Chains A and B, each alone.
Chain A
Amino acid sequence: MAKGKVELMAPAGSFESLQAAIDSGADSVYFGVEQLNMRARSSINFTIADLTEISSRCKAADVRTYLTLNTIIYDHDLKLVKRLLDAAKEADITAVIAMDQAVIAYARQIDMEVHISTQINITNIETVKFYALFADTMVMSRELSLRQIKKICQQIKDENVTGPSGKLVEVEIFGHGALCMAVSGKCYLSLHSYNSSANRGACKQNCRKAYILTDKETGNEIEVDNEYMMSPKDLCTIDILDQVVDTGVKVLKIEGRGRSPEYVSTVIKSYREALDAIEDGSYSPEKVDGWMKKLETVYNRGFWNGYYLGQKLGEWSEGSGNQATQKKVFVGRGIHYYPKNKVGHFRIEADKIELGDKILVTGPTTGVKEFELSELMVDDVIAEVAQKGDDCTIPVDFKVRSSDKIYKIIQA
């Protein structure tokens, strides 16, 4: 897979997603370790001990690695911050994505590359110049328009704004995934209503619920066009990606550390193809249609272009959550792989699989593999269906491991 002039950055909330990102053509991955990242509530964060494995897997695939350490930091966190950064440096992680000055300062002290998180909310060239004293890459505010981003990119070139590495500062923007109803990193809704701070990675997502607006004085319900009045649709830029690339941004970040590995796989593959198509001149409306259909198969709240084209208001989601056109159903686990015959052995633990089914296999080392079931054997006999309780073998061109899970994909 070609690696182009715009870096495609993938989210990795688990080894499954990490592998899916690598296999799908990501140029870099970002991930959280322990509790000091914006997905602290998530049960699938990595631990310090995983840093070496993340680093070595990614290095082997020439994929850059970014540790997100971008919550607000209290005094009691400082030792952990230092320990995390020391461990990341030791494991040769490429850079840290930071917000708090304590993190930025210590990372620089140990000569670790710093990227400025979207939580800082950079909206102008002077702020870029300020953070250029510490950082080589900066995520712009998600509320900027492409016109504004392009101007910032141009000024970086014109004024030769360089980071600690001596190279021009690279601008990063969000390309796809969930948007926040508040200005990036400035939401206190979850904190005020549940004591659960979004800025400590514990957002309760109140904005994703349906609400009724009542005028307390009259008791009248105020009609709003959508009861999900605070839940923005998800950002999608694949249909305006040529304009995005034209701004001069160097890094396109895909949101979704809390998403499934097949989400990472589908989204990264689509954006990889789209970025490559822009580079080789084959980007077209027909191709965009194809990518859009693929993106709709995985988790989404409906899509819009965010604020990039200068919209004044958000576009609100029409439902409480996922509007994906497909879903996965767990059917069993991997048992063994016979490399000579290229056959995977699975045990069906729920539901059934039959010829023609779309099959998904995920695992921490396997990543994400999808295929259509065209051959199947149950207890060494050719079969059309494997039922719950059956041991079956399927010809596959990847190694099946006991840590793998097998799913079938059905229309949602």
Chain B
Amino acid sequence: MVIVTLQREDCIGCNYCSEVAPNYFSMDDDDGKSILMESVEKRGFHTMKTHDPDAFDECSYAAESCPVNIIHTKQV
């Protein structure tokens, strides 16, 4: 399983994650910050769990691209 988290509050809205991982991230037109699709929010951490085999690579690319390091991925 792949677990992806997004600390959304610190997002500066640069758009990289949605550019490199469009299947998992999009930009919220309301507040200009990133959205991690299908995620659940708890205390500011938005977490998405998936068995999709592509998720780890794509989301890791997003994590590497994020200038404020608020995206984390792990494979369990």
Contacts and interface: CB of A to CB of B under 8 A. Distances in A.
Interface of A (DSSP majority class): loop
A196 B67 contact: yes
B29 A74 contact: no
Interface in B9-49: 11-16, 27-33
Given A35-B12, A202-B14, A79 B29 contact: yes
Given A200-B12, A201-B12, A80 B65 contact: no
A80 B67 contact: no
B68 interface: yes
A399 B12 CA distance: 37
Contact of A78 (B11, B12, B29): B29
Interface string B59-74: 0000011111000000
A79 B13 CA distance: 13
Given A195-B67, A197-B67, A76 B14 contact: no
B44 to A, nearest CB: 14
Given A35-B11, A195-B16, A200-B14, A79 B68 contact: no
Contact of B27 (A41, A76, A194, A202): A76
A75 interface: yes
Interface in A204-238: 204
Contact of A200 (B13, B31, B64): B13
Nearest to A204: B67
Interface residues of B, number: 18
A254 interface: no
Contacts of B27: 74, 76
A74 B13 contact: yes
Contacts, number: 55
Interface residues of A, number: 20
B54 to A, nearest CB: 21
Contacts of B28: 76
Of listed A36, A80, A194, residue having the most chain B CB within 10 A:
A80
A93 interface: no
Interface string A23-45: 00000000000111000110000
A193 to B, nearest CB: 11
Nearest to B10: A43
A196 B13 CA distance: 11
A322 B33 CA distance: 33
A234 to B, nearest CB: 25
B32 A35 contact: yes
A13 to B, nearest CB: 16
A199 to B, nearest CB: 10
Given A35-B11, A35-B12, A77 B32 contact: yes
Contacts of A79: 29-32
Nearest to B34: A76
Contacts of B67: 41, 194-197, 200, 202, 204
Interface in A182-201: 194-197, 200-201
Interface of B: 11-16, 27-33, 64-68
Interface of A: 34-36, 40-41, 74-80, 194-197, 200-202, 204
